[in-house]
A and B are shown apart, each in its own frame.
Chain A
Amino acid sequence: MGLFDRHAGLLEAYRDVRTTGYDPFQIRMERVLSPTEAIINGRKTLLVGTNNYFGLTFDPSCMEAAIEAIRAEGTGTTGSRIANGSYSEHMALEQEIAEFYGKKHCMVFTTGYQANLGIISTLAGEGDQLLIDADSHASIYDACKMTQAEVVRFKHNDPSSLEARLRRLGDRPGNRVVVLEGIYSMLGDTAPLREFVDVCKKYNAYVLIDEAHSLGALGETGRGLCESTGVIDDCHFIVGTFSKTLGAIGGYCVSDDPDFDILRVTVRSYMFTASLPPSIVASVRQALKVVKAKPELRKQLWDNVATLYDGLAAQGFKLGPEHGPVVGVHLPDRMVAIGFWRAMLDAGIYVNVAVPPATPNGVSLLRCSVCAVHTPEQLNHMVEVMTGIGRQLGVIDDRTRRVIGGAR
C-alpha cells in the first residue's frame, strides 16, 4: 500500500469537486479590500464567509495598535511562552480577558485550535471521562485522540443524551469533563446550555465551553452563550479564539480553578510553540476594547443576520434551526452545493462550502457568515442572487416557496 492510497476515497471526492472548475479549497484572495470585499478571480467580490463577525480586521484603532507594537517590539517573539516569548503585553492581555469574564485565570495560546487541543487533552487524563457533543469542532476531536481519558460522544445539543452517558458511568472513579460549543460552526445553532449545565451539576461534571463563534455575538457584553444564558459561573473552563470576532489570530482559556496555572507547564500546545507576535497581541487587546465600547456592533450583526436569514427563509431555502452569525444553507448533495457555490462566486459573492466528511450527518451546506458591517443592500442583493441560482438549480420552487432539497 502506497503512502497516499489510504486517501483514495477523499482524492476521488476532491477530484469530483474540482471538475466544477474552481477548487473551493484553493480560492485565492487576490486582494482583500475591506472586511466585506476582496478581489477574487480578478473581480470585486462580496465576502460572506470570513468569520469576521464585527468586521474588526480593518478597524483603524486595531490596525494602529498593531503597527505601533511592531515598531516598539518587533515582528515576532521567536520563542515559547515558557521561555523568551512572554512579554508584558501577553500577560496584560491574559489579565484583560480574565477580567472580561470575571474569572481569575487566563492562558493565551497561539491559535484557538491549540487552546482546545492542549487544554482538553490535558484536563482529562488517565482514568477520567471526556464527554463531547457529536458535532464538535475538529480541534476537540483531535484533543480526544491525544488524551488518555475515555471519550464518549453524546447526541448533538441533546442534554438527555449526555445525561444517559453520565448516568451509565455510575460511581466509577474519575473526573467527568463535558465539552460544548456556544454556537456550532456549521449550522449556527446554539447549545441548550442551561439544560446542559443542570445535567452536569447533577452528575458533578466539569463544563468546558468553546465560545469561538459566540464571542462578541451573544450576551449583554459579548461574552458569549455562557453570558446570554446566565451560567458563566457554572462554566469551569471557557475557551475562545481571536481569529473571528476579534479579527486576528490566537486562542484563550479562562477559569476560576485555583490550580489552573499548572497548565502552563503541562499543556504541550502552549509550551512547544512560539507565542503570538506583539502586533497580534496589541490588536487583540484593542479589539477587546472595541467589543466592550461598541455594543452597537452586536446589534448591527443581529440585524444583518435577520436580513439574510429571513430573506433566504422567505424564498424557501432550508436553513440552520435558528438565527445566528453563521447561516447554514442546506443543499441536497455535494455536487449541488459545489455548483451553487461556484455560481455564487461567478456572481461575485464568496461564501464557504461545507461538504462531507467535514459536516455533521453528511449534509452539504453553503456556510454564510455575517458581518456587522455588511450593508442591508449587500445582503438583500445576496438573497436575490441566491434565489436566482436556487431556482435555476431546482433547489427552491418558483411559486409555492416550498423546500425541495436538503435534509437534516
Chain B
Amino acid sequence: MIVENDGIADTLELRRESTLARGEVMGEICHHLAPFQVGEKPVAGDTVIAKDLTIDSLAIMDMVMELEDRFDVSIPMNVVAEIHTVDQLADTILKLHARR
C-alpha cells in the first residue's frame, strides 16, 4: 500500500530546507484513502482521487485538513481544486512544506 518514491529530483529539491520525505507523505495520503479503495487496486501515485476512489468531495476536503495539520502546511481550496492525483497532492504538500 505505501508507495515509496523518493525520486532523485525531489530529494535534491528538498534537501536544503526540509527533511520531509516523499515516502512519508505518500504513506499518510494512502492511509487516509485506503478506506475508499475500489476492489483490489491499491491506491498509488497515479490514482485519480475523485474518480478512481469512492471518496466524495467533502471527505476529500476533510482529508486535506488532516494532512494540513499532520505536515503543518495550509493548502488553499483553489489549490485543492487543481489537484487530481495522489502524486499531485504529495507534490503540493512537499512544495508547501519546503517553503515554510
Contacts and interface: CB of A to CB of B under 8 A. Distances in A.
A397 B42 CA distance: 40
B76 A152 contact: yes
Interface stretch (B10-18, B25-33, B66-74): B66-74
B9 interface: no
Nearest to B73: A168
A169 B61 CA distance: 19
Contacts of B68: 152, 164-165
A150 interface: yes
A168 B100 CA distance: 8
B72 A134 contact: no
Interface stretch (A113-121, A211-219, A354-362, A383-391): A354-362
Contacts of A362: 56, 58-59
Output the residue of B65, B73, B100 with the most chain A CB within 10 A.
Answer: B65
B77 A169 contact: no
Nearest to A129: B76
Given A356-B56, A357-B57, A151 B74 contact: no
Main secondary structure of the interface of B (DSSP, over half): helix
A154 B75 CA distance: 11
Contacts of A144: 77
A152 B69 contact: no
A153 interface: yes
Interface string B14-52: 000000000000000000000000000000000000000
A134 B62 contact: yes
A154 B61 CA distance: 10
A153 B78 contact: no
A120 to B, nearest CB: 13
A361 B57 CA distance: 11
A150 B61 CA distance: 15
Interface string A98-142: 000000000000000000000000000000000000100000000
A134 B61 contact: yes
Output the residue of B56, B57, B62, B73 with the most chain A CB within 10 A.
Answer: B62
A168 B72 contact: yes
Given A161-B69, A356-B56, A361 B77 contact: no
Interface string A357-377: 100111000000000000000
A361 B74 CA distance: 20
Given A134-B62, A134-B65, A152 B74 contact: yes
A152 B74 CA distance: 7
Contacts of B73: 168
Given A134-B65, A161-B69, A164-B69, A153 B77 contact: yes
A155 interface: yes
Interface residues of A, number: 18
Nearest to B72: A168
B18 to A, nearest CB: 15
Interface in A304-363: 356-357, 360-362
A74 to B, nearest CB: 43
A169 B69 contact: no
A261 B34 CA distance: 51
A361 B62 contact: yes
A168 B58 CA distance: 23
Nearest to B79: A150
A150 B58 CA distance: 18
B74 A169 contact: yes
A152 B78 CA distance: 9
A151 B77 contact: yes
B74 A168 contact: yes
Contact of B78 (A134, A151, A164, A165): A151
Contacts of A161: 65, 69
A357 B56 contact: yes
A212 to B, nearest CB: 21
Output the residue of B58, B61, B72, B74 with the most chain A CB within 10 A.
Answer: B74
Output the residue of A134, A153, A360 with the most chain B CB within 10 A.
Answer: A153
User: Lowest 10 A-B CB distances belong to which pairs?
Assistant: A150-B76, A151-B77, A152-B74, A168-B74, A165-B74, A152-B76, A357-B58, A151-B76, A357-B56, A153-B65
Given A161-B69, A168-B73, 14 more contacts: A134-B65, A144-B77, A151-B76, A152-B77, A153-B61, A155-B65, A164-B72, A165-B68, A168-B74, A356-B58, A357-B56, A357-B58, A360-B58, A361-B62
Interface of A: 134, 144, 150-155, 161, 164-165, 168-169, 356-357, 360-362
6 contacts: A134-B61, A134-B62, A151-B77, A164-B68, A357-B57, A361-B62
